[in-house]
Structure 1
Amino acid sequence: MKIICLNGWGGKLHEELIAYLAAEQPDVLCLQEVVHSPETTKDWLTYRDGDHVLPQRANFFRDVAAALPEHVAQFCPAAQGVLWDGDVSIPSQWGLATFVHRALPVIGQAQAFVHKAYSPHGYGDHPRSRVAHAVRLYDHAGDRGMTIAHMHGLRDLAGKMDTPERLVQTQRFAGMIRSVADPEEPLVVCGDFNVEPDSETFGVLAELGLSDLVTSRGFAGTRSSHYAKAGRFADYMLVNARVDVLRFDVVSAPEVSDHCPLLLEI
């Protein structure tokens, strides 16, 4: 089974990202920073937040679903705000999505907010709402269930240091995972956590028997050359002892986002 976790950067590198996913065809894709604008047929819109202006693939969720036609797609919105088509505002939802190959039955799942709640009237003030999703699958080839969960951790303008809010978000994330996972089965937990490798986040997740593959295997970071700031870590993938890791990689090429894909084969 192949699992990919990626912050998709709103589809800014659309052609490269879609080509990569179409070629890799992961069994499960955990994707963060997903844009869903069902009221427009435009390909591109613009995100504006003060001086921060970023092109966004208007229907990024739909585009990825089309690249993975054999997958069941679940979009988990954190907020609805607006993107811009010139001077025209377009309602647009933002969140994360999970894509599971239709050959893998989903036998349990949970979607929950780890920071704030759904924001229906704008993206809101920073740090903004954050959502997580977990799916329990049955792998008939391995004759076992397993759980895969991901979240997009809150962004604090002050940095990636530990804060009370980040501790609470991890505790909520862990609680959601416990509500879905069978402790006797394999467990994979991943996402753009927006924390440093020494964060107390990992102590909380260790209580679930999880250890991180990114830092334990010596990778120097998870950001691509499109990320110009200091601090190269953001994304993590953790597994429990019941996961038989055949291959793990922080994929540096092709570059499909300002984050690198995390690729796990089990």
Structure 2
Amino acid sequence: MRIMSLNGWGGKLHEPLISYLQTDQPDILCLQEVVHSPETSEDWLLYRDGDHVLPQRANFFRDVAAALANHTAIFCPAAQGVLWNGDQPVPSQWGLATFVRNSLPVTAQTQDFVHKGFSPHGYGDHPRSRSAHAIRVYDYARDRMVAIAHMHGLRDVNGKMDTPERLAQARRLKQLASRIAAPGDPLIVCGDFNVEPGSETFAVLAEIGLTDLVTAGRFNGTRSSHYRKQGRFADYMLVNQNVEVREFTVVTEPEVSDHCPLILEI
């Protein structure tokens, strides 16, 4: 089974990202920073937050679903705000999504918030609402269940240091992962955590037997050259002792986002 975790950057690098996914075809894709604007047929819209203006693929969720046509697509919104088509506001949902190959039955799933709750009338003040999604699938190749959870961790404008909000977030993620996984299940927890490698987040997740593959593998970071700020780590993939890791890598080429894809073969 091939599991990929990626912050898709709202589809800003649309063509290389879609081409990469069509070629790679992971069995399970855990995708963060997903845009879903079903009321428009426009290809591109603009996100505006003060001086920060970012092109967004208007229906990024739909685009990825089309690229992974043999997968079940599940969108998990964190907020609905507006993107812009020139001077025209367009309602747009923002969150994360999970794509599961159709041959892997999803036997259980849970969706919840690790920070705040659903924001229906705007994206809200920073740090904004953040959701998480967890699934339990049946792997016929190994005749067993596998549990996978992912989140997009809160963004603090002051940096990626530990805060009480991030500690609470880690505990909620631990609870969500614990709810989906039965005793003996291989459990994978991943996503854009928005924390540094030494964060107390990892101590919380260690309480349910999870260890991180990014830091253990001594990778140089999980950010691509499109990320211009300090700090090269944001994304992580953790496993419990029941996961038989065949290979784990942080993909640096091709560049499909300002984050690197994380790929786990089990």
Name the TM-score class by shorter chain.
over 0.9
Which digits, 9 at most, give the CA deviation of each residue in 1:210-264, with x for residues without a partner?
A: 1000010110100000001010000000011111111111000000000000011
Matches within 5 A, 1:42-81: 42-81=42-81
Secondary structure, counterpart of 2:80 in structure 1: strand
CA distance in 2, matches of 1:125, 1:57: 22
Contact 1:105 1:138 in 2 (8 A): yes
Q: Which amino acid aligns with 1:116?
A: K
Contact 1:133 1:149 in 2 (8 A): yes
Give the corresponding residue for 1:135.
135
Relative to the length of structure 2, the TM-score reads 0.99
Give the corresponding residue for 2:235.
235
Give the corresponding residue for 1:181.
181
How far 1:87 moved relative to its partner? Answer: 0.1
Contact 1:134 1:150 in 2 (8 A): yes
Q: Which consecutive unaligned segments of at least 5 residues does structure 1 have?
A: none
Matches within 5 A, 1:205-244: 205-244=205-244
Give the corresponding residue for 2:201.
201
Secondary structure, counterpart of 2:17 in structure 1: helix
Residue 3 in 1 paired to residue 3 in 2?
A: yes
Residue 255 in 1 paired to residue 255 in 2?
A: yes
Contact 1:33 1:94 in 2 (8 A): yes
CA distance in 2, matches of 1:183, 1:169: 23
Contact 1:146 1:182 in 2 (8 A): no
How far 1:182 moved relative to its partner? Answer: 1.0
How far 1:183 moved relative to its partner? Answer: 2.6
Q: Which amino acid aligns with 2:74?
A: Q
Q: Which amino acid aligns with 2:107?
A: I
When structure 1 is superposed on structure 2, of 83-92 and 181-190 the one drifting more is: 181-190
Q: Which consecutive unaligned segments of at least 5 residues does structure 2 have?
A: none
Matches within 5 A, 1:38-187: 38-187=38-187
CA distance in 2, matches of 1:183, 1:137: 14
How far 1:15 moved relative to its partner? Answer: 0.2
Give the corresponding residue for 2:191.
191
Q: Which amino acid aligns with 1:126?
A: H
Q: Which amino acid aligns with 1:95?
A: G
How far 1:162 moved relative to its partner? Answer: 0.3
CA distance in 1, matches of 2:182, 2:60: 32
When structure 1 is superposed on structure 2, of 238-247 and 22-31 the one drifting more is: 238-247
Which contiguous aligned blocks of 4+ residues in structure 1 show a shift greater than 6 angstroms? Answer: none
Relative to the length of structure 1, the TM-score reads 0.99
- May I ask how many residue pairs the two structures share in their alignment? 266
